[in-house]
Amino acid sequence: MDKTNFNMIKITFPDGSVRNYEQGVTGIQIAESISPALARSVVSCSVNGEIVELNRPINTDATIALYKFDDEEGKKTFWHTSAHLLAEALQELYPGIQFGFGPSVENGFFYDVMPAEGQVISENDLPKIEAKMLELAKKDEPVIRKEVSKADALKAFKADGQAYKYEHIDQDLEDGTITTYTQGHFTDLCRGPHLTSTGLIKAVKLTNVAGAFWRGDAKREQMTRIYGISFPKKKLLDEYLLLLEEAKKRDHRKIGKDMELFMFSERVGKGLPIWLPKGTQLRLRLQELLRGLLRPYNYQEVITPGIGSKSLYVTSGHYAHYGKDAFQPIHTPEEDEEYMLKPMNCPHQKNMIITESEKRIFAIKPMNCPGAIEIFKTRTRSYKDLPLRIAEFGTVFRYEKSGELHGLTRVRTFTQDDAHIFVRPDQVRSEFENNIDIILKVFKTFKFDNYEAQISLRDPKDKEKYIGSDEIWDESENAIREACKEKGLQAHEEVGEAAFYGPKLDFMVKDAIGRKWQLGTIQVDYNLPARFELEYTADDNSKKTPVMLHRAPFGSLERFVAVLIEHTAGHFPLWLTPDQVVILPISEKYNDYAHEVEQQLHTVNVRAIIDDRNEKIGRKIRDSELKRIPYMLVVGEKEAAEGLVSMRQQGGGEQATMIIKDFAQRINDEVENQLKDLR
């Protein structure tokens, strides 16, 4: 036997092919063996599922995947190293600066820093920091990984005066888990992975400066957070900046204000949206759309309270798992102040209300599930009663941090188009498939044609985050895999993204300008029915525990509306838009005729409004365009005399003169055509 074979290892690629390499081969060497072009474009690789640097030696048989910047894993590595490059630049520009955490994020990276006394970093400083980053990147500094002991790490970062790094090492890390990465004169505490060199970073844009509390704790110091993004080619940065400009035009906060859909009030509170009349009507039409989709499936709609007894949420697990996102207590004059003080010391009781009369603690509702469970328990259930489908447009509450609030996409109260479906184990797959159909029908209705399905699994390395046995989790995860396979739905798996009570299928939608949003979700839950001791009588007269599915095709109405606004730039389908038609009299003389037109349109269910302001017709047209009203009807002397309207389409489209009846028929035909596939 050739002894050299003992130095060879087998490398398996994603397509199943296998190649032999010498022991100690690296990812970059494997890429070079395939093609020089590939070697120039890869930025990281995974070895047996772990993302590592391209220069990390591989000493045993392994599966490998090579990642370019275009890949999500490649972007994470690229942006992680860019965060370190930002820190290196800050270290040179701001002597004495201290560093917190600097991860990659969905669109770029950030670093939390504490400038030295007398130093302030503002957005005006970003160009000079960018310039320093590019200057350092051109040096093509190698990024060197080193494993260190906890004692040595503490000693090194203490010597550098890095108090935050020292605290992190001291409180969070153990021997055998600590690595550092060095580039140039900058060393950072980090798990990696990283680029092999900073020279791959060719374009940088620092986007904004914000405040962030150390460790996310509002009681700790507020640090300066600097956000940025980077690319391997300047062309990619230029394209990104154009995308940012387009995103600004589509910002749902601005369009929502222009269209008078919703508002926020400081007096009411941050993150608490107020739906205006037009926005409320839009929401109600979305709800009616979903009710129509659910009719063939025999759903029963319910309403549950906005608060519930603490014991309810302790049993469900929400009390423990949502404590950090809870609201502060609400005090009323009837409450016993002394009694209130004691339970408030527990961090998980921030959202508690205690009533004087009952001495009971109540929680503001974080999720709708427990209410549906209590409805199931109202009477004895038989296998013949299942599936039992309970739907609710349920409003829930989470205490999001002020810095994380953003329009309708991140709020402190939101309404889920929720449903909880109780099934026998043999019904799980078919019911799951039904809900896939419902979600895909919603996407088709709103032209969300570009989407990905993600099976969100628990992290087996962090089982304390979840409830339930390994057997139940395996059964739940396999049920989702089988349903996706049956529906021909290509779904990738994401470890650590499951709900605490069960795995789920999430739908990630890309909007018109390529941004990814998580919308619809379906979850399999064997755990909550067992925790609440739910039972049904099986066909053999034995008692069985049902399985519960959670599903929300929109996700939440707030988030869905925000995404829909930005996807369509506010140009909603005609059936959904708040105002289908605006009537524009040329002068006050024709206001009476405008009201006649409005009345005729209302009688045939066309939503019309009148702009009878004393303004020039050009101004009225421009304002109607801003409000995204699909049709404008200009009326003047000729129209009033002959019973006509002069139609203009939004965006400078078709113009025509016609009788009112024909125009109304056109609107109703267009609406009917848009909705025909849903009936």
pLDDT tens figures, 548-601: 999 999 999 999 999 999 999 999 999 999 999 999 999 999 999 999 999 999
The answer, yes or no, to whether residue 348 has pLDDT greater than 70, is: no
Tokens of 310: 């603490």
Q: By percentage, how much of the chain surpasses pLDDT 70?
A: 92
**pLDDT tens sequence across 497-519:** 887 778 889 999 988 888 888 89
Catalogue the active-site residues.
369, 398, 416, 418, 420, 504, 550
| Amino acid 678: pLDDT | 64
Q: What are the start-end ranges of the H helices in 469-556?
A: 470-487, 527-531
Mean pLDDT of 401-419: 89
Question: SS3 of 648, please?
Answer: strand
Model confidence at 339, pLDDT cuts 50, 70, 90, reads: very low
Q: Other CB atoms closer than 10 Å to residue 295's CB: what's the count?
A: 8
Q: Which amino acid is at 130?
A: E
Pairwise CA distance, residues 120 & 129, whole Å: 13
Model confidence at 315, pLDDT cuts 50, 70, 90, reads: confident
| Amino acid 176: pLDDT | 75
The answer, yes or no, to whether residue 333 has pLDDT greater than 50, is: no
| Residue among 525, 532, 544 nearest 473 (CA) | 525
| Amino acid 431: pLDDT | 92
Model confidence at 478, pLDDT cuts 50, 70, 90, reads: confident
**pLDDT tens sequence across 177-212:** 799 999 999 999 998 899 999 999 999 999 999 988
Instruction: Determine whether 193 is exposed, middle or buried from the number of CB atoms within 10 Å of its CB (0-12, 13-18, 19+).
Output: buried
**pLDDT tens sequence across 645-666:** 999 998 877 889 999 999 999 9
**Strand 203-213 relative to strand 222-231, pairing:** antiparallel
| Amino acid 359: pLDDT | 54
Model confidence at 677, pLDDT cuts 50, 70, 90, reads: low
Pairwise CA distance, residues 171 & 150, whole Å: 11
Range of weakest confidence among 56-60, 63-67, 401-405, 556-560: 401-405
| Residue among 28, 27, 62, 53 nearest 145 (CA) | 53
The answer, yes or no, to whether residue 1 has pLDDT greater than 50, is: no
**pLDDT tens sequence across 77-100:** 999 999 999 999 999 999 999 999
The answer, yes or no, to whether residue 415 has pLDDT greater than 80, is: yes
Supply angle C-alpha 106, 522, 495, rounded to 5: 45
Q: By percentage, how much of the chain surpasses pLDDT 90?
A: 67
| Amino acid 583: pLDDT | 96
pTM to 2 decimal places: 0.81
The answer, yes or no, to whether residue 328 has pLDDT greater than 80, is: no
Range of weakest confidence among 165-179, 184-198, 244-258: 165-179
The answer, yes or no, to whether residue 2 has pLDDT greater than 70, is: no
Question: SS3 of 353, please?
Answer: strand
The answer, yes or no, to whether residue 637 has pLDDT greater than 70, is: yes
| Amino acid 200: pLDDT | 95
| Amino acid 118: pLDDT | 87
Name residue, tokens 């025909």.
676
492 φ, ψ to 5°?
Answer: -95, 160
